[in-house]
Structure 1
Amino acid sequence: MRGKIRTPLVTAMILFVTLSLTLTTLFAQTSPSGTTLYVDPPSIEDPTILPGDSIVVKIMIDAVVNMKNCEFNLTFNPNVLSVRQVTKQLVQGQYPNTNVDVDDVVGYVWVNLTYTNAVTINTNTALMEIKFFVKGYGTSPLHFESSAIKDNAGTPIPHETQDGFVRIFVRNIAIQDVSVLYHETYVGRVIPINVTVLNDGDIPESFSVSLFYNSTLIATQNVIDLLPKENTTLTFNWDTNTVPPSLDLYVIRAEASILPNEANIADNTLEDGTVKLKIVGDVNGDGIVDIGDLTAWDAAYLSQPGDPNWNEQADLNYDGYVDKADATIILEHYHETL
């Protein structure tokens, strides 16, 4: 009696499982595939990559059923990249028949892949590998301009695409300006010198700026995390107490330290400004303190900035007024010479 009851029950269970599997298979075949065609890695933004280097991306696919053919047109910025090599990948033991068209002037790579046996892929799988040559600095989307995936019957398989992105960073520091407050003055004076420096690159930079007269270092200052396309001005105070006076001009030069992989090091240095450093009392700058300097002082006597006879060189104590105190300084150094 028990055996007779168990047999219909077992039969019903078998029918239920069979029906469930059938419905599951049917649902998997008729429901949206969730197929994704994408670039891997999705982004390449490495400051160490330079023009002349190569980068590699793979065209990947995920979750596709019964794929017989895959075709896509991937565009790129031809000013930044060019295609060096396109390599088909082994998929489920077979290499597809492949057609490839590359245009490095317009900036695209078109690929058509046809598999002898249709493939069903449940995990992320590489279809193609593309090696790019880095031509220049800038950015390049890797954009699926068009794509088509078809099954064994030639029916389009719905899918989405995910583009890639490449940035080749510019790293560049430029000295924009060197501004000297006093171009002619006396030994011992502190001379303010402003140096303007620009981060002409794509990422924040930290670096140092050194200031020289001729080949002698005046001072070095550090710049920390200067933002891209922004500049900053550094003020150097040049103490000339230990600098020899000279009839020749001292040339002022600023230098920014060279960054790793810097794009252009020519603009890291700028000579812009000269200083004539005289012995104290040498108003006319001929290398000797004599009657000529007293004559020049006398011509500017009682003047101040804005007066027609104002002579900055006759204001030896830098108080903005030419008077007897300045003459006293000249007399203290009378007959001194270079």
Structure 2
Amino acid sequence: MAKKFSVLLCLLFATSMLLSVLTIPQATAGSTTVYVDPPSIVDPGLVPGEMFNITIKVSNVSDLFAWQIKLSFNGEILNVTRTIYPPDHVFAGQTYIPLGPVIDNVAGSVLVGASLLVGDPFNGDGKFVIIEFLVTGQGQSVLGFVSGETILLDSAQADIPHTTVDGYFENAAPPPPATMYISPERIVDPLLVPCSNFIVNVSIANATDVYMYEFKLGFNSSVLNVVDAELGDFFPSSVTPQIEINNPAGYLWFSAELEPPETPKSGDGVLAIITFHVEDYGVTNLDLYDTVLKDEAGGSLSHTALDGFFNNIQLAKLYISPSEIIDPGLLPSVVFTVDVMLDDVENLYGYEFNLGYNTGMLTCIGIMIHPVLNETHFTTNMMMDDGVGHLWVKVTYYSPASPITTFDPVSIVTLTFMVDNVGSSPLDLYNTSLTDVNGDPIPHEAIDGYVQTLIRDVAITNVVCSHTWAYSGWIVNVTVTAKNLGNVSETFDVTAYYDSSPIGTLTVTDLAPNTETELIFVWNTSDVAEGLYTLSATASYVPYEFNTTNNNYVDGTIEIRELIRDVAIIDVYASPSEVYVGDIVNITVIVKNEGNVSETFDVSVYYNDTVLIETQSVIDLPSGEEIALLFFWNTTGLTPCNNYTIRAEASSVPFEFDLSDNVFINGYIKIKLVGDINGDGKVDVRDLALVSASFGSYPGHPRWNPEVDLNQDGKIDIRDIAVVASHYGEIC
């Protein structure tokens, strides 16, 4: 390794001397292109463990003296194993410096290049480098040239304008199956009576490269008939589908196919829009079958098909009436009733239900069974457990009772409750059953009820002051939180106080139940004498208020002062602004006493906001005076490739008038990467060219460049070249 490095330094030395004496021609303009060959590799057979190569090429280039490319790739599926200069590369047969490779398989990049030492610049079309990849996963990857990192230089070290054409790799597994489905999936609507129409869509999701589709949709023709079918939005409107409607057999056949120049379609969309006519009441599946998806080559595409459902039979209903009772008069000891109602039922011969309620609010004191439609031939079973808030009722009809049929609401049971406490309670119907004469269940829905006492209660829940102390004349914000603890919207006034003196009154309008609002009182303290004051707020009473003890809230104190104390940082500047690790930076901080009494305080300087550089004390700085403090920052141990922000902060003095000017942030110090002569955040062929161009110079020499004197010994020699070469390829 040492021998190789010595040869590299000697070659750099030779090219430096050569560059200093030659007259170098300028690059000629041209349509130069850097590209990947082959441009695209799509092969599912390149599974993890397989390897493949690409070649980086250039076309139509003139006066090429040095080149560098940085190629990015998906490091989760590809790794670079090595780079190879092909036997016929652009600098073959001449003396050149290979640069790199710098491989970062975690970030997914490879940096490689070459520079001539002795010989003629390259012109025309040629090869740069072969890159060998190891496949580590499955997916897609752009093989992309990184902007600003792909560089072509002519013999004068000027950039050669060029374009780049990225490559592409893919070994992804086949796409997941598409799904064909009915939308909406379920239609349960008793309003879809005979002679009415409705629409469903046959849709597709997660499709990939579909060129043709076909399906049959089956249905019960005694319930539904198809009256129309048209193309959806998945294929363009220029496509004419093939359609067969066979209502006697109960199916629809639908087929559509693209034609050139249309390209295959992917994603989600609607395949067909189907209009049904309702023939009768009933239930039917909407059955998708004989489904076909094909790609452009005629190959079958994997997919699943999901059926739909239709039902327009009106369901029987078991429900509480009234469904909701919200009444401020429902106070303890008040008695009220609700009914369990039945509607839209045929051939009923028995019913059963359970009902739950909040026993903390209610007590059930009565259950009355009604003879529905005057039918009295029935037996009853019932149970009441007020301890857990539960009751059970079962009624069974017997011969000669006629089955109950009604399409009008009727009360089957009346329940009597007594209010124990204010509050709320569901009236929860569950485990319900309706049966016909054969004991078979009758489909139905059960609908709960709800009871609530009207509660009126407003409260002040918090008082927060923007300051714990303030100078007389300051504006102070007092934030008061008011809450409606009741269950009806309320309008009321809120007054804020310091001691017994009012700050102001604001009105809260229509505050919704169980919500809160913040009121900000803007307090001008100009007429407030120096002293310590207690803050509080009070909400006015609302009619019939449930609890008035929470209408007042006292929280904290504020001190009003007249003596002004204030220190400030008024300027910060640093020199120099760009350094290498270990350099000393001089930081000057200007501080001022802006109050009306002498102050003693500390001044601290930080980098990156939190890392302390140094703290100095200011002793008895007179009112209105300012002073400059000098801090020396040794940058040893800092990380290159970073900008460090400088912040100065004065410690606060008691009861400080203005803390906003105690901190001053101004500019930043840049720590450069060793060898990064041009400060672009990377050590590359540009930096090598700069150090070569200044080789042998010293202060006063026409080619002298102090930025290249990396070891600061007053001359540009092989030591400086060695520094750049040893850091080649490093990047921030």
What TM-score, normalized by structure 2, do the two folds share?
A: 0.31
1:146 is the counterpart of 2:410: no
Amino acid at match of 1:144: Y
Partner of residue 176, structure 1: 461
Establish whether residue 164 from structure 1 lines up as the match of residue 448 from structure 2. yes
Counterpart for residue 46 of structure 1: 326
Q: Where does residue 254 of structure 1 map in the other structure?
A: 537
By percentage of residues, which structure has more helix?
1
CA separation of 1:257/1:88 partners in 2, compared to 1, >3 Å: closer, same or farther?
Answer: farther
Q: How does 1:299-318 map to 2 (within 5 A)?
A: 302=623, 310-312=653-655
Q: Look up the match of 2:79.
A: none
Unaligned runs of 5+ in 2: 1-312, 566-595, 601-621, 627-648, 662-732
TM-score (structure 1 length as normaliser)? 0.59
Counterpart-to-counterpart distance in 2, 1:97 and 1:210: 65
Match of 1:85 in 2: 366
- CA distance in 2 between counterparts of 1:108 and 1:136 reads 19
- 1:308 to partner: Cα distance: 5.1
Q: Which amino acid aligns with 1:145?
A: N
Structure 2 CA distance, aligned partners of 1:108 and 1:183? Answer: 55
User: Which residue identity lines up with residue 367 of structure 2 in the other structure?
Assistant: V
- Residue 281 of structure 1: how far off its partner (Å): 6.1
Asked if residue 196 in structure 1 is aligned to residue 481 in structure 2, the reply is yes
* Rounded Cα–Cα distance in structure 1 between residues aligned with 2:563 and 2:449: 66
1: CA distance between counterparts of 2:533 and 2:468?
9
Q: What does residue 293 of structure 1 align with?
A: none
* Deviation, structure 1 residue 129: 1.1
- Contact 2:357 2:425 survives alignment (8 Å): no
Mapped pair 1:269 → 2:588: no
Distance of aligned partners of 1:147 and 1:49 in 2 relative to their CA distance in 1, 3 Å threshold = farther
Q: Which residue of 2 aligns with 1:57?
A: 338
Q: 1:137: how far off?
A: 3.7
Name the SS for the 1:140 alignment partner.
Answer: strand
| CA drift at 1:49 | 6.5
SS in 2 for 1:194: strand
Q: How far does residue 167 in structure 1 lie from its aligned partner after superposition?
A: 5.5
Please report how far the alpha carbon of residue 202 of structure 1 lies from its aligned counterpart in structure 2 after TM superposition.
6.1
Relative to structure 1, the CA distance from residue 84 to residue 302 in structure 2 (aligned partners, 3 Å threshold; closer, same or farther) is: farther
Give distance in 1, aligned partners of 2:314 and 2:463. Answer: 64
Q: Aligned partner of 2:655: which letter?
A: E
Please report how far the alpha carbon of residue 309 of structure 1 lies from its aligned counterpart in structure 2 after TM superposition. 7.0
Cα separation, partners in 2 of 1:88 and 1:216, compared to 1, 3 Å: farther
- 1:128 CA drift (Å): 1.3
Aligned amino acid, residue 162 of structure 1: A
Match of 1:99 in 2: 381
The alignment status of 1:75 with 2:356, answered yes or no, reads yes
Unaligned 5+ segments in structure 1 are 1-31, 284-295, 322-338
Q: CA RMSD in A?
A: 4.5
State the AA in 1 paired with 2:326: D
Structure 1 counterpart of 2:653, one-letter code: W
Q: Which residue of 1 aligns with 2:12?
A: none
SS in 1 for 2:653: coil
Task: Please state if 1:234 is matched with 2:519.
Answer: yes
Aligned residue in 2 for 1:325: none
Shift of 1:191: 3.0
SS at match of 1:101: strand
User: For residues 85 and 240 of structure 1, do their structure 2 counterparts lie closer, same or farther at Cα, with a shift above 3 Å needed?
Assistant: farther
Deviation at 1:82, TM superposition (A): 3.9
Residues 476, 522 of structure 2: 8 Å contact kept = yes
Structure 1: how far apart are the matches of 2:537 and 2:425?
A: 32
Residue-pair matches, total: 268
Q: Match for 1:181: what amino acid? A: S
Q: Is the Cα–Cα contact under 8 Å of residues 40 and 58 in structure 1 kept in the other structure?
A: yes
What do residues 68-123 of structure 1 show as CA deviations (whole Å, max 9, x unaligned)? 54332223344554423323335455776643211234332111335686354533
C-alpha separation in 2, matches of 1:54 and 1:242: 59
The match for 1:109 is 391
SS in 2 for 1:312: coil
Alignment deviations for residues 26-83 of structure 1 (CA, whole Å, 9 cap, x no partner)? xxxxxx9964332222x31536466635553201223556655433222334455442
Pairwise CA distance, 1:271: 0.6
| Cα pair 1:207 1:256 within 8 Å, conserved | yes
CA distance in 1, matches of 2:544, 2:336: 17
Distance 1:183 1:65, change over 3 A: closer
Task: Give me the whole-angstrom Cα distance separating, in 1, the residues matched to 2:314 and 2:558.
Answer: 76
Question: Which digits, 9 at most, give the CA deviation of each residue in 1:255-314, with x for residues without a partner?
Answer: 234456666554443111223456x5699xxxxxxxxxxxx945676499x75572327x
1:310 partner SS: coil
Distance 1:137 1:94, change over 3 A: same
Q: Distance in 1 between matches of 2:651 and 2:443?
A: 83
**Counterpart amino acid of residue 238 in structure 1:** W
Task: Write the letter of the residue equivalent to 1:58.
Answer: D
Give percent identity, aligned residues only: 26
- Structure 1 residues 185, 124: closer, same or farther in 2, change over 3 A? closer
Kept after mapping to 2: 8 A contact 1:37/1:159? no
Match among 308, 312, 317 for residue 36 of structure 1: 317
Q: Which amino acid aligns with 1:142?
A: D
The code of the aligned residue for 2:321 comes to D
Counterpart of 1:209?
A: 494
Structure 1 contact 194–234 (Cα < 8 Å) conserved: yes
Preserved contact between residue 498 and residue 533 of structure 2 (Cα < 8 Å): yes
SS of the aligned residue for 1:132 comes to: strand
Which protein is richer in strand relative to its size? 2
Shift of 1:227: 5.5
Instruction: Give the structure with higher Rg (CA).
Output: 2
AA aligned opposite 1:193: V
What SS does the corresponding residue of 1:131 show, helix, strand or coil? strand
Q: Is the 8 A contact 1:50 1:261 kept in 2?
A: no
Shift of 1:197: 3.3
**3-state DSSP of counterpart to 1:311:** coil
Q: Distance in 2 between matches of 1:100 and 1:277?
A: 72
Q: Distance in 2 between matches of 1:155 and 1:264?
A: 54
